[in-house]
Chain A
Amino acid sequence: MNMLSLTLAQQGGPLTRLIFGTRGASDLARDTDYVFMWILWFCIIWFVFLMGLMTFWVIKYRRRPGVPMQRSPHHNTKLELAWTILPSVFLGYMFYIGLEGYLSKLVAPTNAETIDVVGTKWDWLITYDNGANPPDKTVIGGKPDAPVILIPVGRPVQFRMTSRDVLHSFWIPDFRFKFDVIPNRYTSFWIEAEEPGEHIIFCAEYCGDKHSEMLGQLVAVPAEEYDRLKASWTVDLSLPPVQLGEMIAKNNGCLGCHTTGGGVSVGSTWHNAWGNEVPIEGSTNIPADDPLAWDNYIVESITNPTAKIHQGFPPVMTSYAGVFDERELSWLVAYITSLSEKAAPPAQETPPADEQAEQEDQGEDSNPGEQ
């Protein structure tokens, strides 16, 4: 975009504010606003002209008694050619500025830092280039545990996105860009925040039940703070396996479908699950008090979820085979085991806040052991 249009875009008049609600969060975002406003004024001029002409003629030539009919030409080749070619020129320019703005936001600069984004029903899982996952959650709209994604101010970051289940779409309205998140491929785009601030992230591609709660928050922080926090989130292997398992469960969206407090959700609860009998659809049940059978059942349910379907639950979980290595699987087993009263020693750590909330809405599900 040339200098003049950039200057115009930077200003962003009151109409731009009214239309977009917020000021574009980067030069490229405001450039999109400029393209939009350019098209808008083109549309307004045509619309007012056409509707004005229509209204004027409808009133002037309304049917009145005593007014004779008038003849007029039935076509006019020059006029018709003019109104075909003239708009085409404008549309050509529109295509050009659109393509330019699109490519500039899609193709990342070579020095951009890659942030991995995995869409899963109904959460965004973030991994930084050092393997760290951002641990913070926040409340947005109806979602109590929306992920907080930190990015550095003044440095380009590229989102490398894929999905674990269905189609999603990663939309950051303040940056005026989105791209679909597709299960069998990576897609990407890049942004650069110019000042610290918070920006909402929506899932824009319909993905099922809680599509409207698939939200996130993008927080731009000064680069030094970003580097410090990112380094502090690398996994500390000295922690007990139960805690590591809990972290993995949270960071991979397991808790989107499985409660740890006994509440009903899409999948079975983990509360008091381990060591109790589980009815299996069309197969022998998982026996009670058989630790090895239970450990095998957990691992199988993660890597091949449809092999044994817990009666009463839909076979909707996607396979996590290849997502976790042996060590991580063992942490998950340790964590799920710790949630059962049958495990020795019984897990009596302070449950996290969202777990307490789930315990409250257990409702009629008085015997969570059944799950």
Chain B
Amino acid sequence: MTTINTPHDSGHDGHHDEGSYLTPVEGGLVTNIIRWATTIDHKKLGMMYLVAVLIMFFLGGMMAMAVRAELWSPTRVLADGTVTGQLFQWGDGAAQGYENFNRIFTIHGAVMVFLVIIPGIPAVLGNFLLPLMLGAKDVAFPRLNLLSWYIYCLGALFAVASLIGSGVDTGWTFYTPYSSSHASNEYGNVVLMTSAAFILGFSSILTGLNFIVTIHKLRCPGMGWFDMPLFIWAMYATSIIQVLATPVIGITLALLIYERLLHVGIFDPSLGGDPVLFQHFFWFYSHPVVYVMILPGMGVVTEIIAVHARKPVFGYRAIAFASLGIAGVSFLVWAHHMFASMGELASAIFSALTFFVAIPTAVKVFNWIATLYKGSIAFTTPMFYALAFLFLFSIGGLTGLPLATLATDMHLHDSYFIVAHFHYTMMGGTIIAAIGGLHHWWPKMTGKMYNERVGILGCLLVFVGFNVTFFTQFFLGTQGMPRRYASYIDEFQLLHQISTVGSFILATGMFVHAANFIHSLIAGAKAPPNPWGGLSLEWNTDSPPIEHNFHHEPLLTHGPYDYEDVYPPHCDPADYPLPEPLPEGNSTH
């Protein structure tokens, strides 16, 4: 990578008067902190989201480790007397039974879903990259963007407050009537946690709305809809779901709080309500949101594969329409989470609809693999993560088939098979894609290169650890291990122990990445503007980008994946890693 020449330095030296967005302003630390806290720069907000999401990821990850530690043995591990027991001891109610464990897995689930995976890629990479990829100076509503970051932080505070209070033991799904009338509401923790999800919804809606308007209105001259990078298409589909579905969860959780505090019968049968109604409301949001979680991951992987294989994405339009297709069908399959509590007709209809969502997803996988054909594939950390994504997400997707099939789902529902399945899609899909994307755009975001060997080592540890942890859980599920069990029968111990060992390998891999990133910030080599030879617009500016993104308004002359046309034909890509710089835009607005 050292041979890369930087086209900007030759031709645009005269315009380098503007500093990078990371350059501190004069006036000391306090001034700089205030500058960051009041910034409306999408890049700074992306970085602020990154910090916030990583803190929450660490919290959720530690809870996952506690869950795996507890499951090392069939009986209690995190006993009251031990140090870990003290650590996870909340309130009086936790003195008996398994409430500690129940609180830990609830926090793990709620934090990972509401605070990490849903906002993760859109808020961090989306915020940072969307205007850059479109050739815009910022998102359409920069102030709204700042507001949504503060709303996110407020939601996070509510979640952490409920944790400090005494934890919540409802599971992240908050199923009624347990959550509304039975779970302990010491210090108002249940209300706090559901309020957190309610508040975070607004952050989601605002970000989604912002992105939709930005994509419609701020594409640079020459960029039509089908000239956009596919990451933008994925963000577009995601944003539509966020705007349409999130209000439903807001209202549902408000009703739950209403019932909890005022005892108005909505979901609790003893008050005259219906608990299954809550499940319908809840999944009407939470199923589309599964695609809010995975679509951005798919977008990231599409970019990584195209750039690191130097190949036009096979079937661009198929992938773009598959994103929209998934977004549309995702609204029609919510009740497949409830086959075990509905009538036959509803189950049959939703089972059939669920198979429809499998098709566009499969089409995407075929397209990604076909993109590799005759490519020039670089063995970099992002590429290994993209390949890991294809491997893990394929398993995640295929194991969805016996869950969409009614006969087998009635056995596998609420078992560890489900746990393994959604970790393969949510973590093996979204989180793996996010880590790959973070490596891919790290040079752009920070202006520093990371250590490639350490990155690949981390990727290997994460990949191996992940499979050891979760592949065993498929067998636990088919053999009859129910989810959310603090204790279990002795027969399951071996598989649980293998899973726990895997989770520690996985965590080690994460720490390797963290160390690599920290080292990169302190001592990493300076990143060139286009270290991977990408063709989308974010590679057409400095690393890190200047405050206003581009020195000149970009004018699009080639598509994001036109490697075969931009690179001289029949040449060695290693010798010609970079495309011609874009011609300077003449203000033709």
Contacts and interface: CB of A to CB of B under 8 A. Distances in A.
Interface of A: 18-22, 31-32, 35-36, 39-40, 42-43, 46-47, 50-51, 53-54, 57-58, 61-76, 80, 83-84, 87-88, 91-92, 94-95, 97-103, 105-107, 121, 140-142, 165-167, 169, 171, 173-174, 176-180, 182-184, 187, 200, 202-213, 215, 264-266, 314, 316, 318-319
Interface stretch (B158-166, B270-278, B294-302): B270-278
A91 B355 contact: yes
B407 A74 contact: no
B524 interface: no
A179 B341 CA distance: 7
Interface of A is mostly: mixed
Contacts of B387: 54, 58
Interface stretch (B49-57, B138-146, B389-397): B389-397
A60 B456 CA distance: 20
B405 A264 contact: no
Interface string B161-193: 000000001110001011000111000000000
A102 B347 contact: yes
Contacts of A107: 344
Interface string B369-408: 1001111111100000001001100110011011011111
Interface stretch (B60-68, B113-121, B125-133, B474-482): B474-482
B471 interface: no
Contacts of A87: 358-359, 362
B558 interface: no
B489 interface: yes
Given A53-B369, A54-B390, A212-B488, A35 B359 contact: no
B574 A176 contact: no
A9 B220 CA distance: 60
A32 to B, nearest CB: 5
A74 B406 contact: no
Contacts of A21: 478-480, 491
B175 A206 contact: yes
Nearest to A43: B398
B270 A35 contact: no
Interface string B339-377: 111001001100110010011001101100100111111
Nearest to A42: B401
A51 B98 CA distance: 42
B498 interface: no
B417 to A, nearest CB: 10
B376 A61 contact: yes
Nearest to B317: A75
A241 to B, nearest CB: 29
B411 A32 contact: yes
Contacts of B275: 166-167, 182-184
A39 B563 contact: no
B93 to A, nearest CB: 7
B572 interface: yes
B248 to A, nearest CB: 21
Contacts of A200: 480, 489
B74 interface: yes
Contacts of A202: 480, 482
B314 interface: yes
Interface of B: 74-75, 93, 95-99, 102, 169-171, 175, 177-178, 182-184, 269-270, 274-276, 309-318, 339-341, 344, 347-348, 351-352, 355, 358-359, 362-363, 365-366, 369, 372-379, 387, 390-391, 394-395, 398-399, 401-402, 404-411, 413-415, 475, 478-480, 482-491, 563-564, 567, 569-575
A268 B365 CA distance: 58
A342 to B, nearest CB: 28
Contacts of B378: 62-63
Contact of A183 (B270, B373, B478, B574): B270
A101 B406 CA distance: 7
23 contacts: A21-B480, A35-B402, A35-B405, A35-B407, A39-B402, A50-B394, A57-B369, A69-B569, A69-B572, A71-B569, A73-B314, A87-B362, A94-B404, A101-B408, A102-B347, A142-B487, A169-B340, A176-B410, A202-B480, A206-B102, A209-B98, A212-B488, A316-B182
A132 B413 CA distance: 31
A215 B184 CA distance: 23
A209 to B, nearest CB: 4
B369 A50 contact: yes
Contacts of A121: 182
B352 A20 contact: no
A208 B340 contact: no
8 nearest A-B pairs in the assembled complex, by CB-CB distance? A101-B407, A173-B480, A98-B405, A102-B406, A184-B269, A21-B479, A212-B485, A180-B341
Contacts of B97: 209-210
B276 A182 contact: yes
B408 A32 contact: yes
A33 to B, nearest CB: 9
A78 B524 CA distance: 48
Contact of A71 (B374, B394, B409): B374
Given A87-B359, A182-B341, A176 B411 contact: yes
